[in-house]
Amino acid sequence: MSFNINRRRFLQTASAALAMSTLGTDAMDIIHAKTKRVGLIGSGWYGKSDVFRLIQVAPVEVVSVCDVDKNMVEGAAELISRRQKSGKRPRTYSDYRKMLAEKDLDIVLIGSPDHWHALQMIDAVKAGAHVYVQKPISVDVMEGEAMLAAARKYNRVVQVGTQRKSTPHLIEAKKNIVDAGLLGEVAHVDLCCYYHMRANGDPPVEPVPDFLDYEMWTGPAPLRPYDGLPHKRWWRTFREYGNGIIGDMCVHMLDTARWMLGLGWPNRISSAGGIFVQKEGKSNISDTQTATFDYDDLTAVWQHRSWGDPPDKDYPWALTLYGDKGTLKASVRTYDFIPRGKGERIHKDCLDESDKYPEDVTEKDIELFAAPATRGHMLDFLAAIEKGGRPVADIEEGHISTASCILANLAMDLGRSLVYDPKTRTVPGDEAATKLLRRAYRKPWVHPEVELG
């Protein structure tokens, strides 16, 4: 078989054991039965990270890579040629539509900025590919509705990069603490991020370098004056391209809470915040924000601050489930269960597989704590493709979590709580809010419509 790693060694890893228990003992043989042809759109930090994790767990051939930055795409193609079994260098493109026009891809990974996710995912499934798309899936609610409809119409598997659902220690927490009833009745959830991650510089406008197609990078978003390479962090500081820290970080924790507790759409969403402290730079995303997601007998409250200190230094980006029998604190790195009264505290750290995947240790910018989760997420994605099922982070779940965060921003902007009806795709009784569910696209790009099968 065409592996990147030895099968016996692979089956010894914890992520493989997790996949075996989740997918069934014959799933691994199914997954490895055929080499999948893969294309990558967006070859920056996380695009490369996703494709490297996929290469580690399945016999794939990365045949094409697309990026509007010539230097970035060439560098990615070279790294991929070194990492994949065949040693072949993938074709490179600057326009993803030309890459998809080849119609030779089984899988497309999308690691582009948020404002591109909808068009690229929809075009990829139309071209016959299954898709792994990074979170958040969209920048407006109607994009997400169109993405969900396209996945169903073209019968393609779409996995969203909310890989907390494939994080080994969080899977354990859900099974052994939440599902086992150790928390009792859960009626409140705290979600938070206190990372100082809001880029807020004031760089001067400058000429666009010849290696970057800035028009294509901007695509359907408003065209901002060029003030330096937008790639890592800089674009996230503008709501022209995304939905701020709540869209970037709350989507993970809200999605995790919904998964652990079996929650769907919130009944009502409210939010308040703004730029209260970091006013000196160009950033237009909030530096302080609180959002409340109301369910029947539960509230989930999000808070972020990109300044000051976190209330709990061990859980700066986390969720906390409060039950009448105990409390569960959980993050990407660890979890702690604290029972009320008598009982045993339980602590667990994230899985470290760097000894089994030594290439992880030397990979630039890798999040070692997240690597096992992404490997498990890729295995789940592949199993859904082979068996014709829905992956653990199906596009519908990604849409609910993403849209809830977008609606929180709209509630903050409008100064009132919102109720979204996914059946009518409206905010009933609120025409102004309903209009904001769809953002204007820059011409000649056209906003996707909901195509029913």
Distance CA 13, CA 168 (A): 12
Q: Would you list the DSSP string of 361-412?
A: HTSTT--TTTHHHHHHHHHHHHHHHHHT---TTBHHHHHHHHHHHHHHHHHH
Q: Given this model, what pLDDT does residue 26 score? A: 41
Q: State how far the Cα of 370 lies from the Cα of 81, in Å rounded to an integer.
A: 23
Could you read off the pLDDT of 101-159 as tens digits, one per residue? 999 999 999 999 999 999 999 999 999 999 999 999 999 999 999 999 999 999 999 99
pTM: 0.94
- Cα 179 to its chain centre, rounded Å, is 25
CA 371 to chain centre: 14
Higher pLDDT, 430 or 4: 430
pLDDT of residue 9: 32
Contacts of 445 (CB under 8 A, 6+ apart): 119, 219, 220
Radius of gyration of the chain (CA): 21
pLDDT (0 to 100) of residue 32: 58
Distance CA 366, CA 351 (A): 15
Which residues make Cβ contacts (< 8 Å) with residue 16, sequence separation at least 6? 10, 28, 57, 379
Asked whether the predicted pLDDT for residue 8 surpasses 60, the reply is no
pLDDT value of position 305: 98
∠ CA 314-315-318, rounded to 5°: 160
Q: How far apart are CA 242 and CA 153, in angstroms?
A: 26
Handedness of CA 169, 173, 174, 179 (dihedral sign): positive
All CATH 3.30.360.10 domain ranges of the chain, comma separated, are 166-202+213-355+399-434
Residues 6+ apart with CB under 8 A from 355: none
Positive or negative: CA dihedral 200, 205, 210, 214: positive
Question: Within the chain, which residue ranges are assigned CATH 3.40.50.720?
Answer: 7-164+365-394
Q: Are the C-beta atoms of 224 and 269 separated by less than 8 Å?
A: no
CATH superfamily placement of domain 7-164+365-394: NAD(P)-binding Rossmann-like Domain (3.40.50.720)
- Of 141, 137, 116, the closest CA to residue 437 belongs to 141
pLDDT digits (tens, 9 = 90+) for 230-274: 998 999 999 999 999 999 999 999 999 999 999 999 999 999 999
Environment class of 452 (CB within 10 Å of its CB; exposed 0-12, middle 13-18, buried 19+): exposed
Q: What are the Cα distances from residue 364, in Å, to 83, 197, 228, 248, 348?
A: 13, 19, 22, 21, 27
Confidence bin at 33 (pLDDT 50/70/90): low
CA geometry: angle at 405 spanning 404 and 411, to 5°?
Answer: 85
pLDDT tens-digit readout, 293-309:
999 999 999 999 999 99
Is residue 50 a contact partner of residue 132, using CB atoms and an 8 Å limit? yes
The pLDDT, as a whole number, for residue 19 is: 47
Per-residue pLDDT at 429 exceeds 50:
yes
pLDDT of residue 176: 97
Whether the Cβ atoms of residue 66 and residue 40 lie closer than 8 Å to each other: yes
CATH architecture of 166-202+213-355+399-434: 2-Layer Sandwich (3.30)
Whether pLDDT at 173 is above 60:
yes
The DSSP secondary-structure symbol of 251 reads H
The tokens describing 97, both together, are 């539509």
What SS3 state is found at 43? coil
